[in-house]
């Protein structure tokens, strides 16, 4: 994966589709700044006007945030989780891979999880900014609140405590929080009507065994595309 200028990235957004097997970056910027703090190299499964599907393979080197003193984010008490200084670290994704699905303009992506024996575990609706495309991948911003969806069609909210704390910490203004809640309600309507992608059979999908594990490029944190572009 080669470096591109920001102008090149802007010109690529919304234009040509990637081909199956292409390697791109699926990134999230920090909620407190424009800096990228999560970066996951993925392999494109499908990229059309209706859907981007990408596979994060086991053994992928990824970037994740952690506190400046090295403490994992989720080991920090909730009251101070979003106020202490942070940095990033490269870590390897162990365990089963993750299939990520996103439709253009939709304020969430849907992730599929399996056990090691490919027994399907659940879907995970990650509420976020609609993906912004650039030459090397896609960028978004996580909205803390999520929904787990199970094979029996039951569902539950996830991370409501983090969503509330993010508001108290000033990372989620009241007007944005209401938009996120509205997006969550729309996602629930989709789940309860059992619309796409839940009816599309992705739980039976398997990656091409010939696909190599994508490498994390040195410039993974290059200037991101404008979120919402």
pLDDT tens figures, 44-74: 999 999 999 999 999 999 999 999 999 999 9
* H or E element in which residue 184 lies: helix 174-193
Whole-number pLDDT of residue 13: 44
- Enumerate domains of the chain plus CATH numbers: 6-204 (2.40.380.10)
Angle in degrees, CA 142, 144, 150, rounded to 5: 100
How do the residues of the chain divide into helix, strand and coil, expressed in percent and rounded to 5?
Answer: 20, 35, 45
Share of the chain above pLDDT 90, in %: 87
From the centroid of its chain, how far is CA 169? 22
Evaluate if residue 6 carries a pLDDT over 60.
no
Greater confidence, 105 or 94?
A: 105
Question: Three-state SS for 210?
Answer: coil
| pLDDT band at 200; cut points 50, 70, 90 | very high
Q: For the ranges 47-51, 107-111, 218-222, which has the lowest average pLDDT?
A: 218-222
| pLDDT for 224 beyond 70 | no
The average pLDDT across 225-229 equals 48
Q: Is 192 helix (H, G, I), strand (E, B) or coil?
A: helix
How confident is the model at residue 91, as a pLDDT? Answer: 96
Find the mean pLDDT for residues 188-197.
Answer: 98
Tell me the pLDDT band of 15, cut-offs 50, 70 and 90: low
CB atoms closer than 10 angstroms to residue 158: 17
What is the end-to-end Cα distance of the chain in Å, rounded?
22
**What pairs with residue 55 in β-bridges?**
43, 99
Is residue 4 pLDDT above 60, yes or no? no
Average pLDDT rounded to a whole number, residues 176-184: 98
């Amino acid at each position: 994966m080669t470096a591109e200028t920001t102008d090149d990235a802007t010109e690529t957004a919304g234009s040509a589709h990637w081909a199956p097997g292409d390697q791109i970056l699926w990134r999230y910027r920090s909620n407190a700044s424009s800096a990228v703090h999560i970066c996951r190299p993925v392999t494109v499964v499908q990229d059309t006007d209706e859907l981007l599907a990408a596979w994060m393979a086991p053994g992928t080197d990824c970037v994740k945030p952690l506190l400046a003193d090295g403490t994992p984010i989720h080991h920090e008490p909730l009251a101070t989780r979003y106020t202490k200084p942070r940095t990033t670290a490269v870590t390897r994704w162990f365990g089963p891979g993750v299939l990520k699905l996103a439709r253009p303009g939709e304020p969430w992506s849907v992730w599929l999880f399996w056990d090691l024996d490919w027994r399907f575990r659940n879907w995970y609706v990650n509420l976020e900014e609609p993906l912004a495309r650039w030459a090397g991948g896609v960028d978004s911003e996580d909205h803390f609140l999520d929904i787990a969806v199970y094979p029996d069609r039951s569902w539950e909210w996830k991370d409501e405590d983090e969503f509330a704390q993010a508001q108290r910490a000033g990372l989620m203004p009241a007007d944005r929080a209401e938009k996120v809640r509205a997006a969550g309600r729309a996602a629930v309507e989709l789940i309860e009507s059992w619309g796409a992608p839940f009816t599309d059979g992705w739980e039976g999908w398997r990656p091409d065994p010939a696909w190599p594990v994508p490498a994390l490029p040195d410039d993974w944190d290059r200037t991101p595309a404008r979120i919402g572009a």
